[in-house]
Structure formats: C-alpha cells, structure tokens
Amino acid sequence: MTSPPVQVERRVGQRFPYVLAVPFRQATNSVEGMAFTQDLSSRGVFFFSDAPLIEGSEIELTLRMPSEITLGESMPVRCRGRILRIIRPAASSGMALPDADRAESKIGVAVRFEGYEYLAEPAESANTFPRVASLHPQREEDRLAHASTRE
C-alpha cells in the first residue's frame, strides 16, 4: 500500500475555523457582495461566495476579527488583500441543494491579507437610549418630595 505524498504547510499564521458573514469589494471589476468564511488567520482568510471574483486581483473585506487573532478584544477590521486562488465547485447535476450543501455550489476563495485598517466601534451615545427614569411612571407625591429636597 502506498501512502499519500507529504504536503508542506505553507501558512505562517494559525488558522481558526470561523463562520462569519463578510461583505467584500473587489476593486478590479467593482464586484461587491457577501461571503461567509470557512477559516481565518491574521494572514488570510478562506471564504465562499457566488460572486465572479478574479484570481490575482485585490479585494477588501470587512469583518469582526476575533480575539484569538487580535490577542485582545474582538474588533471590526477592514482587510485589504489579494486573491491567491479560486476553487470552483464540482459540476452539479442541476438539482436543488439542501441548505447544508449550498457551500458546495459556491466558489471557494483564498485571500492573503496585505494590510489592515482597524475601524472604530459604533459609539453608543447616551442620547440614543431612553432615560431609565422616563421608563417608570413616578407618583406625583414622590416627584414633589424629591423636588422640595433639591431646593
């Protein structure tokens, strides 16, 4: 019996299996869309998409980088990279696929990151939330008693 050939692992960063929704934009042909990741590292990502992406082109993805990669808090990041390879799905028989098999109908895309832009967290202003006191009806005598103690 012959054993399969040994393959050398070329990845530098440890990969983590994360399924994240990822919006992307390919600058070459202005293709934009959504994808979902299979795995992610500090150096790259592998994701699935329906979009007509081009191998070798630049791509920009926005995602929440998990704490395992940032070694701190998870944070929103815009990543710029290059598409290293595209894996086309095997020819389908034209039958509708169950949800679990939909990934097999999409292309797989391997991207190497070339740069990051850390994005600001959305500010949660106190003005966007109702005041706690306004959520609870106040009895008239309590309101008057509180007003007289402030004078």
Q: Is the pTM of this model over 0.85?
A: no
pLDDT by 10s per residue, the chain, length 151: 566 565 444 545 688 998 999 999 998 888 999 999 999 999 999 999 999 999 999 999 999 988 888 888 899 999 999 999 999 987 544 444 444 455 567 999 999 999 999 998 876 544 454 444 445 555 556 656 555 555 5
Q: Which residues are paired to 32 by β-bridges?
A: 25
The strand pair at 107-118 and 31-40 is best described as unpaired
Q: How many C-beta neighbours within 10 Å does residue 46 have?
A: 19
Residue 151 one-letter amino acid: E
Residue 138 one-letter amino acid: Q
